[in-house]
Each structure stands twice: as structure tokens, then as C-alpha cells.
Structure 1
Amino acid sequence: MAIEIKAPVFPESVSDGEVATWHKSEGDSVSRDELIVEIETDKVVLEVVSPQDGVIKAIHVQQGDIVQSQQLLATIEAGAVEKPAMPGSASANNSAAVTSDGAEPEEIVSSAQLGPAARQLVDEHSLVVSEISGTGKSGRITKEDVVAYMAAKEDAPQVPEQQALPAEPVGHSSERVEKRVPMTRMRAKIAERLLDATQQTAMLSTFNEVNMAPVMALRSKYKEQFEKTHHGTRLGFMGFFVKAACEALKRYPAVNASIDDHDIVYHGYQDIGVAVSTETGLVVPVLRDADFMSLADVEAAVRDLGQRARDNKLSIDDITGGTFTVTNGGVFGSLLSTPILNPPQTGILGMHKIQDRPMAVDGEIVIQPMMYLALTYDHRIIDGKTAVQFLVAIKDLIEDPARILLQL
């Protein structure tokens, strides 16, 4: 019985997708729920799996093709037995480790076993895929595997100087190497949205600093008990800032609003987006009704969404919507930045690196763990006074975390 494999149903916000990676070839056997192909949309990479056991009889679209919602991708013969691979096929090539001239083939791992980011690195540096060990699912080679391989190769002992060929003096090469690589669909969309945000909003940023000592003391005191009580969920800083943002958004609803044509839409709920860096770009999964979530719920959800983002497991619903965004550049060492709005939202909070600095406390100079906070807002609907008061409210809540619980 032939089964048609179709592209997922895209929501209204996604018009089409690009075939990113085929994990199977024609004639390959597949198991139920086994990954067949990845479709990259403007927002996420969607995985298409087999509905049941069978053999790939025909592939109707190729890698790089643009597909519409519910477009036919492949046909599976249910319950069929895999046919022997024909000479020259992907399966036949992968079964041999040595070519006819006795040399190792340049690549004995099918490109379907490489993620898009890993494939790009391999192509850029002309690497031999067969030398790279994959740690991903079913032996798939990830970007981290390629980076680790390159680092290990750099650390390997070099050829003794007397055996090496004389190197051409630096600066005397007549060749200036360049490599042109097309943007991924997601990166292109991110670039488009960022440009739109700078051109279509009146962005302005205000700054403050927060003393992290109270939260750090609270975290240090309860982190072990918290993790045991909440089944392995770790107590971090993001939970405090998300809960503080929810409370501040209730007090200053303009920061939780959005512009729709000539109307201002005030949202009576707090759906907080948390920016996550992935191999393919920045994504912002959303915590729905974050104001009703406990601190443990927030920490667990942030960890889960972050991991699924890095594994390309997010759905369209996971990143759709959001009324306000929190981003933490401090994890990369950023001391201060001006985050860009995530339209149609009108506010985004930027967290930064915690750094010990001398501060005046009760007339004395003491060393305190300080963090700069940045609020970028759309000045079209948020006045400067409101923006500053909103940021000060978050500062007060973080410096006295009991206020978050008591909603003071």
C-alpha cells in the first residue's frame, strides 16, 4: 500500500518552507516515527517522520526546493522490504570504506547524516566527513562534533619542521580567498525582521543597574533544596526576571501592548518570550500565561524550550505570539547592549553579565555583584517616563525578591 508523505500544515504566519535535509533516499527502509526530511521555515525547522514501517519508493522534491503546506514530499510502500542498493547509490557508496584505487573516499557518510550547520562547516573547511564522529541521534553529526574535530586537529602534533615544505611568506600570496555561502531561510528572515524593526518602530533604550546580591544569596541558600523538591529543576536567574517582568507589565500595561494598524492592543495576559541562541539563529520561544507560572514552572519551561530550540524540536506554536521578550546577553559575556524589539511587541528587556563593582552602600564603598539592565521600547506608544518606571519596578523586585511573592 502506497502512503503519501506531505509537508506539514503551515500556520497563516508561514507561507512556505524549504527542504533543508533529506535523511533518507529512494529505496531506503524506514521505521514508524523515523525522521525522513527536515523542512526549514522562516521561524523553525520542522521534522517530517514516517507514519509507519516501509520503504521510500519515490522522492518528489529535492533539497533546496520550496514547498507549500501539504505538498507531496515522498511516497512510502508500507511494509515493503528494502531492496539491495544499486551501484552508485548513496547506500552503496556508504557501505564501502575504500575506493577502487585503495584510497579512503572523501566522504563515506551520506550528507543526510549532517545537520545544515554541520554541513556548512564541512563544506567551508573541506573536511573529510568519515573522520568525524557523530554524537547526535542515530550517529548524526552535529555542528559541535565538527567544531570539536577541528579543534582536535589543530591541537594534533604538527609535521616536524625539517620534513615540512617551506611555507610561503605571509602577505605574499597572490590569491585572496573568498567563499560565498547563501543565507539560510531562517537567517534571511531574521535579517528581514531586524531591519523592519529598526525602520518601522521608534526604538529607544533606557538603562539601569541592579544589585544581584539578594537574589544570589537566596539562590545559594535554597538551590539544592529547590532542585530536590522540583525533581531536578535548577534555580537560575531567568525565573526571577520573568516573574518580575510579569509583575511590572501588570503595573505598566503599555509595555505589554502592541500596535495593529492605527489601534493599540492592550493584552490582558503576559506571554513572555525568552530569546535562545541556536545553530541556525536566534529564536524566541514563548512562555504562555507566565504570570500564572511558579518560579519552578518558569525555570523548567525555559530549560525545556531552550533544549528543544537547539535540537530543532520547536513547533510553530512554541514561537508564535508573545507580548514581551527577555534576552540574556550576559551568558556570552556582554556587559551592556541595546536589544532590538521583536515586533509587534513594544518592549524587550536585556539582561547582562553579573560583575563585581565598587558601590556606595549606606555611605560606604563595598563590592557588590551588579548587572546592567536595558529596556528597549517603542516610543510611539510608550513614553520615556513609563519606560523608566517599568525598569525601576523590575530593579526593585529583583533587589528585594520577596516583593515578587508578595506582589508589592
Structure 2
Amino acid sequence: MHSPKRPHVSNHYGISESLEARRLYAASATLTAGKLNIVGTTVADNIVVSKSGTNLKVKLSATLTRTFAESAVSSISVALGSGNDKFASDNTVLKPITVDGSAGNDTITTGGGNDSVRSGSGNDSVNGGNGKDTLLGADGNDFLNGNAANDLIYDGAGSDSCYGSAGHDYIKVETGAASPDIYDGGAGSDTISYSARATGVTIRDDGIAADGTSNGVTQVSTEKDNVMPNFETFIGTQYKDLLLILSVGNHSVSGLAGRNDITTGAGNDTITGGDDSDSISGGSGNDSVSGGAGDDFLGGDSGNDTISGGAGADHVYGDNGNDILTGGEGNDVLHGDAGDDVLVGDSGRDSLYGDADQDRLFSFDGLWNEIVDGGTGGDVAVIDFRPYPNNFVPADLLTGIESFH
């Protein structure tokens, strides 16, 4: 008598375990109310989104691809897992993509829409696509490249490399690293901002780079040197900054709050001191300088400059060139220096010195305790005589004027 054979089930169990493991480690893609949600796993995923005709294809693994009608998708959300993941979308995908890198050393490339990427922890590499992208660095040493269009890039903790590439890009420095960072605006008119920093910074754009070469920009602060070439606009902190933008070119420099010391070089620069007592020198070129509130010291250097002191007791110097100087509110001192200058005292007890050449001096508060000195040259003073009875003018306060109105 033979006993019945036991059924052979080990293979079935083996298949079941293999399928379960395959489900466990496969990324997923689901469409809910127009939002395409892609979720990674704890292992290294390689996810690719592409366009095929009227469809969007999501390749989740070598053997698993999901297809969705493009017309049904309004946005794409990608949450990578904790592995060293890769995510890529080609530039034919125009739907906006949001990517969270999470943990791991990830490589992320977005598509042709206006995308947003948070790199997550780890040493990540992020490349924007053809849209106006927002790239946010996090912990780790990240590589952030905006690529085409006008991108917004935030660095994170660690030693980061942030590249604007083409377009008018805005790079915001939020943290200070213990080792050098690299910021490169690339082509276009680019901005670097330190406005989120909790301490003042020193920025020196003088052709001395921290990478051992003779070109670029060095930023010197409490942390190591940073290389920052190809920026046209510099924004400081809310604290005391030293901004030396000496490279040739047309720059825009903003000191924000704090007692700032700002110097620019050759070029037609726009400089704003902010609300405190600032020292600004425009350098050569036709510069526009605004001191803002505070007792400022403002100089235009050579070129035809426009300088406004703003509120506070300011000292304003035109230097060489045909300058327009305005004192603003407060008791100001204005010197035209060389050139045919226009000096406007505005409100307050001001002292206007035309110095050399043919100047025009405007005093709208009369001459009560003011000094109007045309200096040498055929100068013209425009005075508001209404404060004086019978058009009386105190002669000792009005000198060096050939004609007045």
C-alpha cells in the first residue's frame, strides 16, 4: 500500500514570495483628480517620465511602465525614497513637476514645464529643464543647475555648487558652509542674494577667485571663500555688509538694512544703501546712487552720476562729471566737484558747494542757516525767496554765484 504523495507547494510559495518582494520594491504611479503621483521605494529607483504621442509614460523599473493620457494630467508629484535614486523627465513633458528627493544621493532632471525640486538629504545632483524652475538644496553637498529659462535656486547646508546657466536667474544663499560653495550666474542678467543670512557678509568681486584661478569672484565671510562669477545684481543682508563690486560691468547692488560699505568699479551701476548710515562709492561710469535713510556718505567718482541722499544728514560728492545731487530730508552737505553739476538741497538746512565749472544750485527752503557756494565758473542759484521779507537775502550765505532766480 502506497501512502498518498504530499502536494509539492514549495515552488508556489517561492513564486508567491518573489511576487511579494517585487511588489514591495516597485515604485508606483497613480492618477488622482488630475495629479499624477509617483512614489519611490527604499531601494535605488530609476524613474523616467516621457511623452509618447498623446500619452505620458512613466517607466518605474526595467520591466514596469505605466501609461496615462496627457490630457488627464494637470501636474506631476514625485516622492523619491531613501535609496540613491534617479529621476528624469524629458523636455517634451510640459506638465509642472514637483520632486522631493528625500534621503539618498539622488540624480534629478526635470522637464520642460515650470518645475520645483527639493533635493533632500544626501549629496544630490539636480538639473532643471527648459521651464522656470525652483531648485532647493538641503543637507549634503548638492549640485544645482537651473539650465534654461529664469530659475530660482536656493542653496542648502553643505558645500553646494549652484549654476544659473542660461536665463535671468536668482540664486539665494541661505546658509553658510564650513567649506567653499560655488555660485555661477551663467548667461543672462543674474542676481545673488544674501538677504536670508543671519549675519553680515563681505562680498568681493575683484577678479580674485577661491579656486586658484585668476578670474571669478571671491566672497569672504565667517565661512570659507566662495567663487561667484557672472552676477550682475548683488543683494546683501539685513546687517552690516562690505560689498566690493570692482569688476568691469553694469551692476546693481543693494545693501538692505545695516551700516553698509559699498564700492563699485567701472560701469553704469545702480546702488542702494538701505536704511542705515552707509558709505557708498560709485566708481567710474554713469552711476545711480541712493543712500536711503540714515546719515550717509555718498560719492559718484568719475562719470555723470545721479546721487540722492534720502532721509538723514548726508554728505554727497559728485566728483568728476556732470552730476545731479539731491540731499533729501535732513541737513545735508553737497559738493559738485568738477563738471557742470545740479545740486538740490531739498528740505533741511543744507550746504551746497558747486565747486568747479558751471553749476546750478537749488535751495527750496530759502537761505535760513543754509550755505550756497557756487565755486568757480558761471554758476546759477535758484532760491525760494518767500521766507525773506522784501526779498532780502543774507549775502554771507550766498557766494560764488553769477546769477540767481
Fold-level similarity (TM above 0.5): no
TM-score by length of 2: 0.25
Which one has a larger percent strand, Structure 1 or Structure 2?
A: 2
Q: Higher RCO, 1 or 2 (CA under 8 Å, sep at least 6)? A: 1
Structure of higher CA gyration radius: 2
Taking structure 1 as the reference length, the TM-score comes to 0.25
